[in-house]
Amino acid sequence: SGIYDEGRRGWLNDLKGNLAARYAFKQGEWNQVRIEAIGNRLRTWLNGVPAADLTDDMTPKGFIALQVHGIGNREETMQVRWRNIRIQENPKPSPDAPKAAAAPTGPIMKEGAEIRKLAEGFKFTEGPALGPDGRIYFDDIPNNRTHAYDPQTGKTEVFREDTGGANGLFWTPGGRLLACEGGNRRVSRIEADGAVSALADQFEGKKFNSPNDLVLDGAGGVYFTDPHYGKDKSGLELGVEAVYYVDNKGKLSQVAADLTKPNGLILSPDNRILYIADPGAENIWAYDVESEGKLANQRKFAAVGSDGMTIDTAGNVYVTWKGEVIGFSPEGNEVARIKFPEGPANCLLVGQTLYATARTGFYAVELNAHGLR
């Protein structure tokens, strides 16, 4: 649902900064694309999610073509089908879809909402991530397992074993699972067929400490944290606990090395701000993302340490800290505080459901806020 000028200028809007639209695509299913052209403004939606928005005075007349890029490879053929194509005259523009949703009014937690325990019997849960199949994946770190919870059936099953102490997880739009394997001291990628390879396992020839959490940006790059926990530092090679970036071509760079113990991290809905939790200093820091893998303007966002974090469409940041999930507005003001039966280590907002990995359990609660997916 990006916008491409076939005649002269190439990509005019490639959705690099719109992660919500990139993740709206459903592999192997029918997808609904809507295009609206009124005057010099062209807008698109993918499965109801606002995608491209372009004001262009250079081409007031022309045609609209539908193309699909990157659908196959040399070894595997794929089919593309279109159906129910409708063209309708629309003299009045649709209401503007805001770039960021308005902040929810009233309490963040829905009235009467109860915290539900979805699964139990683990040793220490972490790393919730939404998969392409709609299931929520999370790790049980000491048991070296990744589990998958199905919101439709309520069932939880083992997805992967021998995870190398996997912690933070993130699914790519292409269906790969990225995992911070703290025990293996690397960030790995797991293919659909189960094949595992290293996305990053060293910096300048030295092994990482223990990669902890990661987030994917709109350009296909990955930010990840590399702290160290434990008293034994004899095997450490880098001598610093830092934040790194791997671009979409595999180039690795160190982007922040002035934190005490970087842990959870999340990007703002527009990918322009990177939030990094530093429990060692009991602060959350915010950085401006000037370009892919280039951070600037470090500033204190909130005076809590936090472990994991998630974000809603209004830019509110939800962090785990001392038995609670605490919500902060984009300005750093507290907007929510939710106490869980067990201390949450990480959280994930999908739709209006906030999932929390908390010690031996996996929990959920409904909010008056919407996740990016």
Q: What would the pLDDT profile of 308-338 be if each residue is shown by its tens digit?
A: 999 999 999 999 999 999 999 999 999 999 9
Same domain, yes or no: 227 and 189:
yes
Cα distances (angstroms) measured from residue 144 to each of 139, 182, 223:
8, 11, 23
Q: CATH number for the domain including 56?
A: 2.60.120.560
Contact 80, 71 (CB under 8 A): yes
Q: Does residue 102 lie within any of the structural domains?
A: no
* String of DSSP letters for 307-351: S-EEEBTT--EEEEETTEEEEE-TTS-EEEEEE-SS--SEEEEET
Q: Does residue 184 lie within any of the structural domains?
A: yes
Q: Does residue 104 lie within any of the structural domains?
A: no
Dig out the tokens for 166 from the structure: 């996997």
Listing from the earlier edge strand, what are the strands of the sheet with 125-130?
125-130, 136-140, 145-149, 156-161
Which residues span the domain enclosing 273? 116-366
Q: Does residue 2 lie within any of the structural domains?
A: yes
Same domain, yes or no: 184 and 255:
yes
Structure-model confidence comparison of residues 32 and 370, the more confident one: 370
Q: Does residue 373 lie within any of the structural domains?
A: no
- 77, HSE (Cβ side, Cα atoms, 13 Å): 1
Structure-model confidence comparison of residues 305 and 232, the more confident one: 305
Amino acid letter, residue 195: A
8 burial via Cβ count (<10 Å: 0-12, 13-18, 19+): exposed
Same domain, yes or no: 362 and 261:
yes
Q: How does residue 101 score in pLDDT terms, banded at 50, 70 and 90?
A: low
- Residue reference for tokens 């007031």: 60
Q: CATH number for the domain including 181?
A: 2.120.10.30
Structure-model confidence comparison of residues 191 and 83, the more confident one: 191
Contact 314, 293 (CB under 8 A): no
Same domain, yes or no: 187 and 38:
no
Whether residue 75 is predicted with pLDDT greater than 70 in this model: the reply is no
Q: Does residue 103 lie within any of the structural domains?
A: no
- Where b means 16+ CB within 10 Å and e means fewer, 74-88 reads eeeeeeeeeeeeeee
Q: What would the pLDDT profile of 25-52 be if each residue is shown by its tens digit?
A: 777 788 888 887 766 677 888 877 778 8
Q: Tally the domains of the chain.
A: 2
Same domain, yes or no: 73 and 163:
no
Same domain, yes or no: 185 and 324:
yes
Same domain, yes or no: 93 and 167:
no
Same domain, yes or no: 17 and 139:
no
Whether residue 165 is predicted with pLDDT greater than 80 in this model: the reply is yes
Q: How does residue 97 score in pLDDT terms, banded at 50, 70 and 90?
A: very low
Residue 185 Ramachandran class (φ > 0 left, ψ -120 to 50 alpha, else beta)? left
Q: What would the pLDDT profile of 254-286 be if each residue is shown by its tens digit?
A: 999 999 999 999 999 989 999 999 999 999 999
Whether residue 297 is predicted with pLDDT greater than 90 in this model: the reply is yes
Whether residue 8 is predicted with pLDDT greater than 70 in this model: the reply is no
Whether residue 76 is predicted with pLDDT greater than 70 in this model: the reply is no
Q: Does residue 331 lie within any of the structural domains?
A: yes
Whether residue 5 is predicted with pLDDT greater than 90 in this model: the reply is no
Closest CA to 253 of 289, 294, 219: 294
- Where b means 16+ CB within 10 Å and e means fewer, 251-267 reads ebeebbeebebbbbbbb
Q: Does residue 310 lie within any of the structural domains?
A: yes
Q: How far apart are CA 61 and CA 315, in angstroms?
A: 37
Same domain, yes or no: 239 and 165:
yes
How confident is the model at residue 96, as a pLDDT? 42
Q: Which of 97, 130, 163 is where one domain is finished? A: 97
What single DSSP character describes residue 135?
Answer: P
Whether residue 92 is predicted with pLDDT greater than 60 in this model: the reply is no
H-run or E-run covering 366: strand 361-366
The mean pLDDT of the chain is 87
Dig out the tokens for 163 from the structure: 């995870």
The strand pairing partners of 136, in sequence order, are: 130, 149
